[in-house]
Amino acid sequence: MSLPALKKEGHAMALTPDEAEELGRKLMSNLCMDLKRVDVPAALDLIARGASLGFDDDRALSPLLRATHHNLLGVVDAILARGVDVNEKDRHGWTALMIAANYGHAQMAEFLAGKGADIHAVSLQGKTSFALAQENGFREVGDVLIRAERKRQQDIADAERLAAQFQEAVANAHIAQEPIKVGHALHLIKRQKPEIS
């Protein structure tokens, strides 16, 4: 089956499910090759053209997990931009972050953590990304994961602080029997927010 031209006057055309599946098979065929033979521009083109991203290879690795295994950051970014769950798992319960940690791909681990990868996810063997990095001697990946966890904890603390400030502003406005709007409450919070140096 030949695929139709997918661009006409600069606008991408919708694919049929069969066409998306065909592109998905081509993508997986490309990503399942030895890393030296993977055609990254072709993979990016297939993703951009609407390839189905739900295929697994013989090891039950999806395009996201296979691209992570090969440390193809641009391909992983393109796959995630299509809405694939950063925490999807293979048949062993491994996530992309676990694969990056297991193979020492520190930059990939940092990227995935920044995209919301669950640092605390546990595989069916009871392993976390941090445990895999430690077991394989990838200290740099371990450091990336520690920094990501610290950032996550700080983000939680910041959100809790802002929620408390918002509740206080609402309560103060209610006590004063003033009608309050969300914008007004946020203005009150901003006035009280200490400068961070």
Please state, in angstroms and rounded to a whole number, the distance separating the CA atoms of residues 105 and 4: 37
The token pair that represents 94 in the structure block: 């491994």
Q: Which of 38-52, 93-107, 161-175, 181-195 has the lowest mean pLDDT?
A: 181-195
pLDDT tens by residue, 72-97: 999 999 999 999 999 999 989 999 99
Please state, in angstroms and rounded to a whole number, the distance separating the CA atoms of residues 133 and 148: 14
Question: Quick one: three-class SS letters along 141-176?
Answer: HHHHHHHHHHHHHHHHHHHHHHHHHHHHHHHHHHHC
pLDDT tens by residue, 132-151: 999 999 999 999 999 999 99
Query: CB count, 10 Å around CB of 114?
Result: 12
Please state, in angstroms and rounded to a whole number, the distance separating the CA atoms of residues 56 and 49: 19
For residue 192, what pLDDT is reported? 56
- Percent of residues, the chain, with pLDDT higher than 70: 75
Mean pLDDT of the chain, nearest integer: 81
For residue 40, what pLDDT is reported? 82
Q: Which of 29-38, 59-68, 101-110, 174-183 has the lowest mean pLDDT?
A: 174-183
For residue 8, what pLDDT is reported? 34
- Indicate the pLDDT class of residue 31, thresholds 50, 70 and 90: confident
CB-count exposure of residue 31 (10 Å: 0-12, 13-18, 19+): buried
Mean pLDDT of 26-37: 71
pLDDT of residue 2 exceeding 50: no
